[in-house]
Chain A
Amino acid sequence: MTEDFSRRSLLKAAAALAGGGLLVGCAPGASRSTTNLNYWHLLTGGDGTVMAGLVDAVNAANLGFRTTQTVLAWGPPYYTKLAMASAGGRAPDVAVMHASRIAGYAPGGLLEPWDLDLLAEAGLRKEDFPARVWEKCQYDGKLYAIALDTHPFVLYYNTDHAEKAGVTEALHSLKSPEEFTEVATKLQKVTGKHGLSYGYLGDGAQMWRLFYTLYRQTGADMKLVPGQQAEVDKDAAVKTLTFIRSLLNDTIASRSGDGGTATSEFLHGESGMFFGGVWELPVLKEAKLPIDAVPIPTMFGTQAAYADSHTFVLPRQSKVSPERRKHVYTMVAELLKRSVKWAGGGHIPAYQPVATSAEYQALKPQSNYAGIPAYVNYDPDVWFSGAGSDFQNYFAENVQNVFLGSGDPAAGFDGFVARLNKLLDRPQPV
Chain B
Amino acid sequence: MSTAIDTPAATTEEVTAQGKAKAKRGETLTGWAFAAPFAVLFVLFLVIPALYGLYLSFTGETLTGAGSGLVGFSNYADALRDPDMWKSLGNTVWFTALSTIPLIVLSLALALLVNLGLPGRWLWRLSFFLPYLLASTVVVMFWSWMYNPKLGLINGVLEQFGAGPVAWLQDPKVAMFSVVITTLWWTIGFNFLLYLAALQNIPEQQFEAAALDGAGKWRQLFSIVIPQLAPTTALLVTLQILASLKVFDQIYMLTNGGPAGTTRSIVQYIYESGFTGYRFGYSSAISYLFFALIVLVSLAQYKLINRRSAA
Q: Which chain A residues have a beta carbon within 8 Å of chain B's beta carbons?
A: 76, 79-80, 83-84, 87, 108-110, 201-202, 254, 256-258, 260-261, 264, 384, 389-390, 393, 396-398, 400-401, 404, 426-427, 429-430
Chain B residue numbers with a CB within 8 Å of A80 are 275-276
A108:B64 contact, CB within 8 angstroms: yes
Known contacts: A76-B276, A87-B64, A256-B167. The answer to whether A397 contacts B261 by CB under 8 A is: yes
B-side interface mostly = loop
CB distance from B208 to the nearest CB of A (A): 57
What are the interface flags for B132-149 relative to A under an 8 Å C-beta threshold, 1 for contact and 0 otherwise? 000000000000000011
CB pairs A–B below 8 angstroms (11 shown): A201-B167, A202-B256, A256-B149, A256-B167, A257-B150, A258-B150, A260-B148, A396-B258, A400-B259, A429-B279, A430-B63
B260:A397 contact, CB within 8 angstroms: yes
Chain A residue numbers with a CB within 8 Å of B259 are 202, 396-397, 400-401
Known contacts: A76-B276, A256-B170. The answer to whether A427 contacts B67 by CB under 8 A is: yes
Chain A residue numbers with a CB within 8 Å of B169 are 202
Known contacts: A202-B258, A264-B151, A404-B167. The answer to whether A427 contacts B276 by CB under 8 A is: no
B151:A260 contact, CB within 8 angstroms: yes
**Docked complex Cα distance between A201 and B275 (Å):** 25
Check: B255 CB closer than 8 A to any chain A CB.
yes
Check: B77 CB closer than 8 A to any chain A CB.
no
B151:A384 contact, CB within 8 angstroms: no
**Pairs A-B, 5 closest by C-beta atoms:** A108-B64, A429-B62, A429-B278, A261-B150, A80-B275
Chain A residue numbers with a CB within 8 Å of B64 are 83, 87, 108-110, 429-430
**Docked complex Cα distance between A429 and B280 (Å):** 9
Chain B residue numbers with a CB within 8 Å of A260 are 148, 151
Check: B65 CB closer than 8 A to any chain A CB.
yes
B276:A261 contact, CB within 8 angstroms: no
Give B145's nearest chain A residue, CB to CB.
Answer: A260
User: When A and B form their complex, what is the total count of cross-chain residue pairs whose Cβ atoms lie within 8 Å?
Assistant: 85
Chain A residue numbers with a CB within 8 Å of B277 are 384, 390, 429
Known contacts: A202-B258, A397-B261, A404-B170. The answer to whether A430 contacts B151 by CB under 8 A is: no
CB distance from A426 to the nearest CB of B (A): 8
Give B261's nearest chain A residue, CB to CB.
Answer: A397
Give B61's nearest chain A residue, CB to CB.
Answer: A429
Check: B102 CB closer than 8 A to any chain A CB.
no
Chain B residue numbers with a CB within 8 Å of A400 are 170, 258-260
Check: B189 CB closer than 8 A to any chain A CB.
no
| A429 partner, pick from B66, B165, B258, B260, beta carbons under 8 A | B66
**Docked complex Cα distance between A390 and B264 (Å):** 13
Known contacts: A109-B64, A401-B172. The answer to whether A256 contacts B150 by CB under 8 A is: yes
CB distance from B175 to the nearest CB of A (A): 10
Chain B residue numbers with a CB within 8 Å of A390 are 272, 276-277
CB contacts under 8 Å to A, within B32-84, are 60, 62-67
Known contacts: A202-B170, A396-B258. The answer to whether A389 contacts B276 by CB under 8 A is: yes
**Docked complex Cα distance between A430 and B60 (Å):** 11
Give A261's nearest chain B residue, CB to CB.
Answer: B150
Chain B residue numbers with a CB within 8 Å of A426 are 279
**Docked complex Cα distance between A256 and B150 (Å):** 8
A84:B151 contact, CB within 8 angstroms: no
Q: A80-B275, A108-B64, A429-B66 are in contact. List 11 more A-B contacts (CB 8 A).
A: A87-B65, A108-B63, A108-B66, A201-B167, A202-B255, A254-B150, A264-B151, A397-B258, A397-B259, A400-B258, A430-B62
**Docked complex Cα distance between A202 and B65 (Å):** 33
**Docked complex Cα distance between A368 and B172 (Å):** 40
Chain A residue numbers with a CB within 8 Å of B279 are 426, 429
What are the interface flags for B150-173 relative to A under an 8 Å C-beta threshold, 1 for contact and 0 otherwise? 110000000000000101011010
CB distance from B82 to the nearest CB of A (A): 9
CB contacts under 8 Å to A, within B98-129, are none
**Docked complex Cα distance between A15 and B218 (Å):** 74
Chain B residue numbers with a CB within 8 Å of A261 are 148-151
A201:B149 contact, CB within 8 angstroms: yes
**Docked complex Cα distance between A79 and B172 (Å):** 29
Chain A residue numbers with a CB within 8 Å of B66 are 108, 429-430
Chain B residue numbers with a CB within 8 Å of A83 are 63-64, 278
CB contacts under 8 Å to A, within B254-301, are 255-261, 272, 275-279
**Docked complex Cα distance between A258 and B144 (Å):** 11
CB distance from B43 to the nearest CB of A (A): 23
**Docked complex Cα distance between A375 and B306 (Å):** 71
Give B66's nearest chain A residue, CB to CB.
Answer: A108
**Docked complex Cα distance between A202 and B253 (Å):** 11
| B63 partner, pick from A87, A201, A257, A258, beta carbons under 8 A | A87
A393:B257 contact, CB within 8 angstroms: yes
CB distance from A381 to the nearest CB of B (A): 17
Chain A residue numbers with a CB within 8 Å of B261 are 397
Chain A residue numbers with a CB within 8 Å of B258 are 202, 393, 396-397, 400
**Docked complex Cα distance between A362 and B250 (Å):** 46
A429:B151 contact, CB within 8 angstroms: no
Chain A residue numbers with a CB within 8 Å of B149 are 201, 256, 258, 261
CB distance from B77 to the nearest CB of A (A): 13
**Docked complex Cα distance between A401 and B257 (Å):** 15
CB distance from A303 to the nearest CB of B (A): 32
Chain B residue numbers with a CB within 8 Å of A201 are 149, 167, 170
